Amino acid sequence: MQLTVWTYEGPPHIGAMRVATAMRGLHYVLHAPQGDTYADLLFTMIERRDARPPVTYTTFQAQDLGRDTAEIFKNAVREAYARFRPEAMIVGASCTAELIQDDPGGLARALDLPIPVVPLELPAYQKKENWGASETFYRLVRALARPPAGRAPGARPDRAPGARPTCNILGPTALGFRHRDDLREVQDLVGRLGIGVNVVAPLGASPSDLGRLGEADFNVVLYPEVARSAAQWLERTFGQPLVDVVPIGVKATVAFVEAVAAAAGVDPGPVLAGAPSRLPWYTRSVDSTYLTGKRVFVFGDATHALAAARVARSELGFTVVGLGTYGREFAREVRAEAQSHGIEALITDDYLDVEAAIAACQPELVLGTQMERHVAKRLGIPCAVISAPMHVQDFPARHSPQMGFEGANVLFDAFVHPLMMGLEEHLLAMFRDDPEFHDGVAPSHLGGQPRPEPAAAPAPAPAAITVAWAADAEKELRKIPFFVRGKARHNTERFARERSLPLITLETLYDAKAHFSR
């Protein structure tokens, strides 16, 4: 474990919270001191949930360490069951409580509650949040999933002739990047193929729903970080094939539709014939030539970083100059993808390493997390957020998926708009001295009269100090767009007065600009 100002992932019990909070009828009892009780902040403020997360803490204090903390935990489990009456419970310890080794699983079993109680062993000093979510979901599936009556263990599902094929959709959780919106798009695609959805889990599922997982013909894994382990167990145990093509981007969505259709034995043609994304049209348009070859740095969780790199190169014509992830469990896949771009992958959970790599690459666009957004802002590089961890801004109220054909439209906007803003600035600079279009010319409907110079705000200054503008400095000032020229004049004159400079030269103007841009 490394102490740092920013972190890409929390400890593994945060991953367990994401699974528990996503589900219905499941309660999480966490052995934790007062300082670890921040689930409400995560899920009600950051994700804007309208209900408190189903988590009970023991909240032991320092003086309790010399007493019986095991009894405190058992009382918390009893009270949580009596109050919430869940269908099932998961129990575990936070990173701090792990040190006192109270064995939450054994203590909960001793209570002999009339519901399933699944113990979690989440080593906080070796593993992190995504692994914790994956392990929690895997343990729940193993404990609760049951094969349909009459099917031999490991046998493939045998669908009756004419019966509608069904699948489980696995992976979306609470506090997940666009999971709610992605799920809506994927359910629509699956439904248009004529395939029924048996269970969606963890998001919206109950423990009894997990018991029905074995009834589906196959499983769809949307987020391998969360659901791949559980889906592989279901494949080994119930003979259910898994589809783990992540449908982010037009090409990946087409591949996803084809893979799902093959698993269900249906025709993908009608769905693919009506693919509604505008991204392919844009890449064939004249406007796209402005962006061809733009150098892009990509970093995030493995699912979104891999998908963003592929979309950037194969669908928008960008050049990927950096690719990395903080998810060490998926380092092999990310390294292989980076190699296909002719670069070396960056596998790190230290944001300072990522900042150094971005500064070294000097890309024209950064696709990353909120941390990379802050880094890019400092370096003056356009950025789009494409991955967790996220800030409250990245849980939009609107429908904003990453997956499916509509998700490709969202990606198109997210990737292109920051670059187009840069293009606008370039055009503004290019035409600022044009005799017809420069900002000193009034609109034609005003008769061509010169645009009035904005009045500079009065600046307090000693009466004895007056400043004048050299001709070359005045000419350079007029190159600044009119809507910020007054502020530039005011700041430069203040800079000169503070240094007792009676004449503002071109050098003074540049020095003032450097001073106020720090």
Banded model confidence at residue 67, pLDDT cuts 50, 70, 90: low
Least confident residue range of 98-112, 135-149, 168-182, 294-308: 98-112
Q: Which among 400, 404, 23 is positioned nearest to 190, based on CA atoms?
A: 404
Flag whether pLDDT at 284 surpasses 70. Answer: no
Q: Mean pLDDT over residues 31-39, rounded?
A: 74
Q: Mean pLDDT over residues 161-172, rounded?
A: 91
State pTM to two decimals: 0.79
Q: How many alpha carbons fall within 13 Å on the CB side of residue 363?
A: 32
Flag whether pLDDT at 328 surpasses 50. Answer: yes
Secondary structure of residue 59 in the 3-state scheme: coil
CA angle 190, 304, 228 (to 5 degrees): 60
pLDDT for the residue numbered 380:
83
Q: pLDDT by residue (tens digit) across 203-213? A: 999 999 999 99
Q: Is 486 exposed, middle or buried (0-12, 13-18, 19+ CB in 10 A)?
A: middle
pLDDT for the residue numbered 436:
52
423 is in an annotated binding site: yes
411 is in an annotated binding site: no
pLDDT for the residue numbered 313:
93
Flag whether pLDDT at 59 surpasses 50. Answer: yes
DSSP state of 392: G
Q: What is the rounded CA–CA span in Å between residue 482 and residue 438? A: 10
120 is in an annotated binding site: no
Least confident residue range of 64-68, 296-300, 308-312: 64-68
Banded model confidence at residue 100, pLDDT cuts 50, 70, 90: confident
Contacts of 216 (CB under 8 A, 6+ apart): 157, 166, 167, 168, 198, 199, 240
pLDDT for the residue numbered 32:
84
433 included as an active-site residue: no
pLDDT for the residue numbered 461:
45
Integer CA distances (angstroms), 513 to 480, 490, 492, 498, 502, in order: 12, 11, 8, 15, 18
Banded model confidence at residue 71, pLDDT cuts 50, 70, 90: confident
Q: Mean pLDDT over residues 296-321, rounded?
A: 95
Q: Which of 287, 433, 434, 472 is catalytic?
A: 287
pLDDT for the residue numbered 72:
86
Which is more confident, 101 or 286?
101
Least confident residue range of 53-67, 156-170, 339-353: 53-67
